[in-house]
């Protein structure tokens, strides 16, 4: 099963992660693959004229590279749509991306206190999230100190977590975030760096390919 395979893969990786460092995203031991992924990202061939933002430092570039190579049609269409669309002029709503099954959700929303925000991950989809107005705070959970708090229901599961082990990052219009199945995250958390907690965020769920 997809779920079982993911759990076993994560468990194998976690054996090499120290409890002090934590485990926040999928680890790759193939140095050649990591090098290829770094060169690919720096080359910008994935952009398709999208120059509005770069990947945040938390994005797993090796997994980005692997998923792009496995599913180029969706990723190409995603970045072309972002490049060609006035993301601030659109009305909030859902927009199909031509030639694919992808749908871009344009959300005018607001951040909330951490205790009101759910943690989550997905087995079958990748969360592409790009804040185009305002500042959104994301939290990324440590797998070693987090546990599922409810049953998986398509396509999301939530977690109990140790707050002291959560890594928080602010998302602004010059960066985009990508959350793969091994990136357990919390979205729309209040940022102390922002006076105004209202945001506009573009959310696109891309198929995850095993």
The answer as to whether 114 is a domain residue is yes
pLDDT 10s digits, 21-33: 899 999 999 999 9
Which CATH number do you get for residue 66? 2.60.120.370
At residue 131, does pLDDT exceed 60?
Answer: yes
pLDDT at 21: 87
At residue 44, does pLDDT exceed 70?
Answer: yes
pLDDT at 12: 53
The answer as to whether 77 is a domain residue is yes
The answer as to whether 23 is a domain residue is no
Instruction: Return all residues near 2 (Cβ < 8 A) that are at least 6 apart.
Output: 123, 124, 210
Above pLDDT 90, what percent of the chain? 89
pLDDT 10s digits, 109-127: 999 999 999 999 999 999 9
pLDDT at 17: 47
The answer as to whether 11 is a domain residue is no
Residue 103 lies in domain: 30-207
> To which H or E segment does residue 35 belong?
helix 31-43
Token pair 């940022």 is found at 191
| DSSP secondary structure letters along 52-109 | S-EE-TTS-HHHHHHHHHH-HHHHHHHHHHHHHS-TTTSPSEEEEPTTSS-EEEEEEE
The answer as to whether 13 is a domain residue is no
Token pair 């696109």 is found at 204
Rounded mean pLDDT, 140-145: 98
pLDDT 10s digits, 76-101: 999 999 999 999 999 999 999 999 99
The answer as to whether 61 is a domain residue is yes
Q: Using DSSP bridges, classify how beta strands 136-140 and 167-171 pair: parallel, antiparallel or unpaired.
A: antiparallel
Total tally of structural domains belonging to the chain: 1
pLDDT 10s digits, 157-207: 999 999 999 999 999 999 999 999 999 999 999 999 899 999 999 999 999
The answer as to whether 18 is a domain residue is no
Residue 73: other Cβ atoms inside 10 A: 12
Range in 5-14, 37-46, 49-58, 125-134 with the lowest mean pLDDT: 5-14
More confident residue, 191 or 13: 191
Strands (E), 97-141: 103-110, 119-120, 125-133, 136-140
The answer as to whether 6 is a domain residue is no
């Amino acid at each position: 099963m997809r779920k079982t395979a993911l759990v076993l893969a994560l468990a194998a990786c976690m054996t090499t992660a120290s409890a002090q460092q934590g485990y926040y995203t999928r680890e790759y031991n193939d140095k050649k693959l990591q090098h290829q992924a770094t060169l690919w990202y720096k080359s910008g061939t994935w952009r398709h004229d999208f120059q509005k933002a770069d990947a945040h430092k938390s994005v797993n570039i090796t997994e980005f590279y692997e998923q792009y190579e496995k599913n180029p049609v969706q990723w190409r269409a995603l970045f072309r749509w972002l490049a060609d669309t006035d993301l601030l002029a659109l009305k909030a709503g859902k927009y199909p991306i031509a030639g694919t099954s992808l749908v871009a959700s344009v959300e005018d929303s607001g951040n909330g206190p951490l205790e009101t925000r759910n943690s989550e991950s997905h087995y079958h989809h990748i969360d592409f999230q790009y804040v185009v107005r305002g500042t959104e705070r994301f939290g990324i959970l440590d797998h070693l100190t987090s546990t599922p708090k409810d049953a998986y229901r398509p396509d999301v599961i939530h977690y109990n977590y140790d707050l002291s082990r959560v890594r928080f990052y602010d998302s602004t219009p010059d960066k985009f975030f990508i959350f793969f199945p091994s990136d357990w995250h919390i979205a729309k958390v209040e940022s102390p760096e922002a006076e105004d907690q209202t945001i506009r965020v573009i959310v696109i769920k891309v198929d995850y390919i095993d």
